[in-house]
Amino acid sequence: MTPRAGTAREFPATALAGPYADGLDLPYWEGLRAGELRLQRCGECDLWIWGPRWMCGRCQTFDPKWTAVEPVGRIFSWSRTWHPFIPELAGELPFVTVLVELPHAGGRRVLGLLAENGDGDVAIGDAVAGIIQQPADAPWPVLRWRLASSTTETERGTER
């Protein structure tokens, strides 16, 4: 049964979650386990960094620090997908991929899946909040984005 628009969906996490073998993004995943969204921030020049890097692209300082960030933002871009790009999502169609701009992280943009059903209304500028889910069948939690309930049509503007 397909969930109705507006309901949260739990996507399978087997192929979607977990750190890379080099360990660079391990603090991100450990942050999710701790209930936090963590991004890198340079200790020298304060540049927010995403995706994970070994060094700051601005000042070339090595080992940027991982910092907890409030998981709220606005949709910068989005795409509704009707074709699964990995087999684990075949039963979840359609789903919405969102690029979320985080104001508390210097405007860095993080890609993720919308928790709501893919048939609902989505617009550039919609407010979203991150939710961390621990799937029963996976060792790592996953971050999903949920449309903020306070968003109204007038707050969205006319951009579609």
Residues in a beta bridge with 79:
97
Question: What is the pTM (predicted TM-score) of this model?
Answer: 0.80
In a domain, 75, yes or no: yes
**Quick check: is 119 in a domain?**
yes
- Identify the weakest region by mean pLDDT among 2-16, 108-122, 128-142: 2-16
Q: Is 138 exposed, middle or buried (0-12, 13-18, 19+ CB in 10 A)?
A: middle
Helix (H) / strand (E) element for 80: namely: strand 72-81
The number of folded domains in the chain is: 1
Please state, as a whole number, how many other Cβ atoms lie within 10 Å of the Cβ of residue 43: 14
Q: Which domain holds residue 93?
A: 26-156
In a domain, 21, yes or no: no
Contacts of 85 (CB under 8 A, 6+ apart): none
Considering the domain boundaries, does residue 72 fall inside one? yes
3 inside domain? no
| The pLDDT value given to residue 137 | 79
Domain for residue 51, yes or no?
A: yes
Question: Which own/partner contact pairs does 39-42 have at CB distance under 8 Å and 24+ positions apart?
Answer: 39/66, 39/67, 39/69, 39/102, 39/105, 39/108, 39/110, 40/64, 40/65, 40/66, 40/67, 41/65, 41/66, 41/67, 41/105
For position 68, what pLDDT does the model report?
98
Q: Does the pLDDT at position 15 exceed 70?
A: no
In a domain, 85, yes or no: yes
CATH number at residue 112: 2.40.50.840
Tens digit of each residue's pLDDT (9 = 90 or more) over 65-85: 999 999 999 999 999 999 887
- Whether 13 maps to a domain, the answer reads no
11 vs 62, more confident: 62
pLDDT of residue 159 exceeding 90, the answer is no
Mean pLDDT of the chain: 84
